[in-house]
Every structure is written in structure tokens, then in C-alpha cells.
């Protein structure tokens, strides 16, 4: 017997319609060089319609890929809706990718138009000769600016001017592609993840769950996580769906500007990778901000050090860890205390919050022993590869037949190694490729990094495995001291700090002090770069 409910397609058109009909007076604010740019959902909606009309006039058809190369701004937010709502596919290009990778993905996706922020033109114009499918560049900025070699090109405001302020959205299949994003390609070529309207819709709904990010109309959302990576974690979809005020940082992401923006716009909810919040925490020892409106910060993309969670809490700021991947839209698990944790000590609560948490409703997981393929018990000790499935988890990469094994048996193999406690709360031990393999046992580089970043004189720390004749690999700690402690912290200080906290054989064989941890295009620690710098490092015997 069939259910007798309406077959109502879950599309981003619904989110758009809600924003303009129910919340027309809500503000959208973008940080600029001068005064912030601000307008309402009502104005935004008219411009989204104009943009859709302009795209249609430029020949964009349903299913065509239209790319963006830009910062988090109101124009990017317009593109986030106009492109998918008219049936085309928003392809967000990562502005920090290497040129060869960019050329590869623009060609594989066969992008037809690229929208580019004016200050990023110099970077893109070098690559333009390698983009045969691109017929038009639309430049977003306050003219006059140099369009360089991007031809043909048109100014964004000119492109949408004089277009009608309404558009009859086509009826879309909820499984039609809405957007695509390539993984940052830490190994091999980047891989395209294609999101559907349905997956984006359901994923945005999950942001409203009480035990999830709990977003709602009263929120003022600051997505610092880039709109060019993994849907800005879905928070810009959620903003329109729920009618929340949204604040965009533009290209200004230094801790001082972020702090001032959060204060002046009365931000209630912000999202970004740990690096951003490590910078802000360090600033809080010198500067005062009024964060009284702030409810919580969602942080993920890499492990959130416990010291960061504790440090921000001392300033009254609650940071919530989330875990996910480009392939999971990305929100897959979130770390919230359960009711029975509330009786536990502060220290224990911080420890629980430093785990990656519980899968959100809609996502299922299992942890599988890498050798035997068996699911491991939830004993917080047995580890294996974390695998997930759900309505916003990719089932294949775009045009890729080589990675089928990654999606075998209906599960996504994440490449993350995890343990699970008896409550089903996940803790990531490491990425498979980052575990330090010492004498047949594994050492978690992530756990060492977390401990190191708890040292009062340490700003950031990264641990990599160095080849070792006897043990196969041994850990090397690369440590960035806080600016005020440069040259005032020694290898022995670091090792003395770790000694009571880890098993003896986990102790790094050496400590090197560096100026900064190299970061990937999305702000994560780039171990690849450190490995190439220290690959031949000779450890003290």
C-alpha cells in the first residue's frame, strides 16, 4: 500500500520563496572596505530574479554549469539561489586551488560562465586561455576595475540591470543537480561532488534541529567558512529557509575584523575552521569585544583542540564541534553534551565536546576494521574506518569511475579513522594517511596535536610521521609558539608537558619550531607540505 501524501519536490525554490514572502525585511549585510553593504531579503529576491533572467538571456539552460570565483558576499548569495532555482548548476570554484587543478575542474565541469570578484581577476586571467567552455565572465565589484584578459566580460550590475524583477521558476525534479563542489584534492585530481536540490534542502533542514546547530529566524548567521567550499556548510541555505539575518565577511577574515563584525552586527551564530577561532582566542587576551548576542560557534573541517573549546568558554563563548566532508554536504556529526553528561565534571564535559559527536538524524554510520571488514564494537578502543550513508551523502563522484570502491555497499568510505564510545559518540583518531605507524602500532597525530595546542605557550602544532629505520615511522612535532613566546619555549618544555599525558612511545622523537603551520586552500593544516619539508629529517637517535 502506498502512502497518500503529496509528492512535493524538496527544492531550493521553496527556501527562496519563504525568504522573500515571509521575511522580506530581514537584513543581509556584507563587510566591505568602507561601510558595510546592507539590504533586505526583499531587495535580494528582486535581484535574484533579475540575475536569473540575465542568465537565461545569456543562453544558460537547465543543467548548465555556472561557476563562481568569489568571497562570501551578498552577490555570491544571489548566485547561490538564482542559478539552482532556474534549473542550472552552481559550481563554486575554490579560489585558493592551484592553477592546474582549477583548469582541470573548470574543464571537467564544462562551466559556461564564471562570476568572479574583481580583486580575483588577476589570478583567473592567467588561466582563462585554458578554459575553452567558458563563454562569458561576469565581474563582481565596484567599477572601475581592471577586467584584464577575461574576455568577453561584463560588469555584474550591468548584467542584471533592466532585467524583470520576477521569474517563473521551472518545475524541478528534486533529484536534479543544484550545485557542485570539488574536493580540495589532497591526493590526485580533485573529485566533483554533485548536490541535488533534495540533498541541499534536507541538509539545510538539519541545521535547524535542536541538537544540531539549532538555527532559526532569531539568528544572525556569520558564515566565515567559504561559500566556495562545501556549501558554506549549508548555513546560507539555512539562512533563507529559516529567514535568519545573514552577515558576510567579504574578504576580510583577520581576527580583529571578525571580532568587530560579530560585535557590531550582534551575530548569534558563526561558523569556521579552528584556525579562525585560534586567532580570535589569542586576540581576546588583548582586546575586548561585546559578544553578548553570540549563542554558539560551529567549528569543524579539522579536529577542534580541547584547549580551544576551553579557552573560548572562559570568555563565555560556546564552540560546538561538527564533522563532515565535501562528500557529506558537509554536516554529518555534531558534538553536543547529552543529558547524562551534565552531571559530569567540567573536565569530562570538555573532553566529550572535543569528540566529533553524534551523527545527525538522517545520517547513519559504522566503523569498520580496515583489515577484516567487520564492524568494530563501541568500546572506545577498537578503531576502524568511519563509513556513512544518508540522503545528503554522495553516492559517486562526477564523471569518475575509478573511485567506485569509495562508495561500495552503499556506504561512503571516509578515509577517517575513528573509535566509538558506548553511547555511539564518535571520536576521530586520524585520517588514514596521517596516522603515524610506529613498530606496528598506530599513533594518533591528531591527539598529539590537541595536547600540544593545550600548552600555554603554543599557538598551533602539527605532528607528522618521519621514516625511521627501526620503527618504520616516528612522530615529529612541528610547533608554532605564541608570538609573545617565540624563542622562549624549548623542546624539553614541550616534551615535559606531554610526558604525563601520553604513553611513552607516543612521545615525539623531536620538536621543531616553525613560524606557521602551512594551510590548505580551505585553512586546514597542510601535512603534505610539512612532509615534503621534513621528509628527510633525521631524528635524534
Query: Which positions are catalytic?
Result: 183, 327, 437, 442
Our finding on whether 101 is near ligand ADP (CB under 6 A) is no
- Taking the complex as a whole, the smallest distance from the CB of residue 138 to ligand ADP amounts, in Å, to 27
Q: What is the dihedral of CA 106, 111, 116, 121, to 10 degrees?
A: 50
Our finding on whether 96 is near ligand ADP (CB under 6 A) is no
Cα 188 from Cα 190, distance rounded (Å):
7
**Beta carbon nearer to ligand ADP, 245 or 413:** 413
| 12-22 helix and 235-242 helix, angle to the nearest 10 degrees | 50
C-alpha cell at 256: 580583529
What 3-state class would DSSP assign to 319?
strand
- Taking the complex as a whole, the smallest distance from the CB of residue 186 to ligand ADP amounts, in Å, to 5
- Taking the complex as a whole, the smallest distance from the CB of residue 193 to ligand ADP amounts, in Å, to 8
Our finding on whether 356 is near ligand ADP (CB under 6 A) is yes
The stretch near ligand ADP (CB under 6 A) out of 55-63, 161-169, 316-324, 479-487 is 316-324
**Whose CB is nearest to ligand ADP?**
184
Our finding on whether 475 is near ligand ADP (CB under 6 A) is no
Cα 67 from Cα 93, distance rounded (Å):
7
For residue 432, give every residue at least 6 positions away whose Cβ sits within 8 Å of its Cβ, in sequence order, or none.
Answer: 370, 385, 415, 416, 417
Helix H or strand E encompassing 155: strand 153-155
Cα 60 from Cα 54, distance rounded (Å):
9
**Beta carbon nearer to ligand ADP, 101 or 349:** 101
**Beta carbon nearer to ligand ADP, 139 or 271:** 271
Measuring CA to CA, which residue among 221, 195, 433, 216 is closest to residue 331?
Answer: 195
How many CB atoms within 10 Å of residue 22? 12
Contact in structure between 16 and 197 (CB atoms under 8 Å) = no
Among positions 224-283, residues that touch ligand ADP (CB under 6 A) are: 230
**Beta carbon nearer to ligand ADP, 415 or 465:** 415
Our finding on whether 519 is near ligand ADP (CB under 6 A) is no
Which position among 302, 438, 445, 450 is part of the footprint of ligand ADP (CB under 6 A)?
Answer: 302
Which position among 48, 55, 241, 428 is part of the footprint of ligand ADP (CB under 6 A)?
Answer: 428
- Taking the complex as a whole, the smallest distance from the CB of residue 300 to ligand ADP amounts, in Å, to 4
Our finding on whether 323 is near ligand ADP (CB under 6 A) is yes
What is the secondary structure of 116-137 as a DSSP string?
A: EEGGGHHHHHTTGGG-TT--EE
- Applying CB under 6 A, the site for ligand ADP has a residue count of 22
**Beta carbon nearer to ligand ADP, 279 or 415:** 415
How many CB atoms within 10 Å of residue 33? 8
C-alpha cell at 61: 539552460
Task: Spell out, one character per residue from 429 to 458, where the chain touches ligand ADP: x when CB under 6 A holds, - when not.
Answer: --x---------------------------
What 3-state class would DSSP assign to 180?
strand
What 3-state class would DSSP assign to 84?
helix
- Taking the complex as a whole, the smallest distance from the CB of residue 417 to ligand ADP amounts, in Å, to 9
Which position among 321, 358, 444, 445 is part of the footprint of ligand ADP (CB under 6 A)?
Answer: 321
Helix H or strand E encompassing 107: helix 99-109
Which position among 51, 139, 294, 325 is part of the footprint of ligand ADP (CB under 6 A)?
Answer: 325
Please classify residue 319 by burial: count the beta carbons closer than 10 Å to its beta carbon, then call 0-12 exposed, 13-18 middle and 19+ buried: buried
Our finding on whether 326 is near ligand ADP (CB under 6 A) is yes
Among positions 147-186, residues that touch ligand ADP (CB under 6 A) are: 183-184, 186
Residue indicated by cell numbers 581592471: 146
The stretch near ligand ADP (CB under 6 A) out of 276-284, 341-349, 411-419, 530-538 is 411-419
Cα 136 from Cα 146, distance rounded (Å):
16
Cα 172 from Cα 6, distance rounded (Å):
15
- Taking the complex as a whole, the smallest distance from the CB of residue 146 to ligand ADP amounts, in Å, to 32
- Taking the complex as a whole, the smallest distance from the CB of residue 181 to ligand ADP amounts, in Å, to 9
- Taking the complex as a whole, the smallest distance from the CB of residue 320 to ligand ADP amounts, in Å, to 10
| CB-side neighbour CA atoms (13 Å) of 78 | 26
Our finding on whether 463 is near ligand ADP (CB under 6 A) is no
Q: Produce one character per residue of 70-80: b if its CB has 16 or more CB atoms within 10 Å, e if not.
A: bbbbbbbbbbb
Our finding on whether 32 is near ligand ADP (CB under 6 A) is no
Our finding on whether 329 is near ligand ADP (CB under 6 A) is no
**Which residues of the shown chain bind ligand ADP in the complex (CB under 6 A)?**
183-184, 186, 230, 300-304, 321, 323-326, 356, 414-416, 428, 431, 522, 524
Amino acid at each position: 500500500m502506498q502512502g497518500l501524501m503529496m509528492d512535493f519536490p524538496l527544492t531550493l525554490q521553496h527556501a527562496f520563496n519563504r525568504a522573500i514572502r515571509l521575511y522580506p525585511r530581514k537584513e543581509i549585510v556584507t563587510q566591505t572596505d568602507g561601510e558595510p553593504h546592507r539590504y533586505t531579503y526583499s531587495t535580494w529576491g528582486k535581484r535574484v530574479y533579475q540575475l536569473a533572467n540575465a542568465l537565461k538571456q545569456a543562453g544558460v539552460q537547465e543543467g548548465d554549469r555556472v561557476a563562481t570565483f568569489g568571497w562570501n558576499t551578498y552577490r555570491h548569495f544571489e548566485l547561490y539561489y538564482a542559478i539552482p532555482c532556474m534549473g542550472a548548476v552552481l559550481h563554486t570554484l575554490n579560489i585558493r586551488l592551484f592553477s592546474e587543478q582549477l583548469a582541470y575542474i573548470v574543464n571537467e565541469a564544462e562551466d559556461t560562465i564564471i562570476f568572479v570578484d574583481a580583486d580575483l581577476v588577476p589570478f583567473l586571467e592567467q588561466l582563462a586561455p585554458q578554459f575553452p567552455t567558458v563563454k562569458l565572465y561576469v565581474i563582481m565589484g565596484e567599477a572601475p576595475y581592471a577586467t584584464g584578459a577575461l574576455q568577453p566580460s561584463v560588469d555584474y550590475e550591468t548584467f542584471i540591470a533592466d532585467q524583470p524583477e520576477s521569474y517563473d521558476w521551472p518545475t524541478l525534479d528534486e533529484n536534479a543537480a543544484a550545485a557542485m563542489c570539488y574536493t580540495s584534492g589532497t591526493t590526485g585530481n580533485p573529485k566533483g561532488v554533485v548536490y541535488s536540490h533534495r540533498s541541499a534542502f534536507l541538509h539545510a533542514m538539519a541545521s535547524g534541529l535542536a541538537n544540531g546547530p539549532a538555527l532559526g529566524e532569531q539568528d544572525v548567521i556569520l558564515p566565515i567558512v567559504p561559500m566556495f567550499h562545501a556549501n558554506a556548510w549549508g548555513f546560507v541555505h539555512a539562512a533563507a529557509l529559516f529567514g535568519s539575518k545573514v552577515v558576510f565577511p567579504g574578504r576580510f577574515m583577520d581576527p580583529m575584523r571578525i571580532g568587530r563584525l560579530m560585535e557590531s552586527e550582534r551575530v548569534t551564530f558563526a561558523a569556521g575552521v579552528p584556525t579562525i577561532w585560534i586567532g580570535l582566542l589569542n586576540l581576546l587576551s588583548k582586546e575586548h569585544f561585546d559578544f553578548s548576542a553570540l549563542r554558539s560557534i560551529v567549528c569543524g573541517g579539522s579536529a577542534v583542540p580541547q584547549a580551544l573549546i576551553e579557552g573560548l568558554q572562559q570568555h563565555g563563548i560556546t564552540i560546538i564541534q561538527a564533522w563532515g566532508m565535501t562528500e557529506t554536504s558537509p554536516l554529518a556529526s555534531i558534538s553536543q553534551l547529552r543529558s547524562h553528561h551534565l552531571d559530569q565534571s567540567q573536565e569530562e564535559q570538555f573532553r566529550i565536546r572535543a569528540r566529533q559527536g553524534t551523527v545527525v538524524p538522517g545520517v547513519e554510520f559504522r566503523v569498520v576494521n580496515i583489515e577484516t571488514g567487520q564492524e568494530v564494537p563501541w568500546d572506545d578502543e577498537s578503531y576502524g574506518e568511519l563509513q556513512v550513508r544518508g540522503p545528503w551523502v554522495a553516492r559517486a563522484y562526477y564523471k569518475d569511475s575509478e573511485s567506485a570502491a569509495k562508495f561500495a555497499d552503499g556506504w561512503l568510505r571516509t578515509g577517517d579513522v575513528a573509535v566509538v564510545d558506548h553511547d555511539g559518540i564518535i571520536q576521530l583518531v586520524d585520517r588514514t594517511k596521517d596516522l603515524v605507524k610506529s613498530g606496528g602500532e598506530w599513533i594518533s597525530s591528531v591527539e598529539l596535536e590537541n595536547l600540544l595546542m593545550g600548552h600555554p605557550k603554543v599557538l598551533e602544532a602539527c605532528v607528522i610521521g618521519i621514516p625511521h629505520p627501526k620503527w618504520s615511522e616516528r612522530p615529529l612535532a612541528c610547533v608554532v609558539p605564541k608570538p609573545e613566546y617565540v624563542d622562549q619555549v624549548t623542546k624539553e618544555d614541550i616534551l615535559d608537558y606531554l610526558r604525563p599525558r601520553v604513553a611513552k612511545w607516543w612521545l615525539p622523537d623531536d620538536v621543531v619550531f616553525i613560524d606557521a603551520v602551512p594551510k590548505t586552500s580551505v585553512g586546514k593544516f597542510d601535512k603534505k607540505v610539512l612532509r615534503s619539508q621534513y621528509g628527510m629529517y633525521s631524528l635524534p637517535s
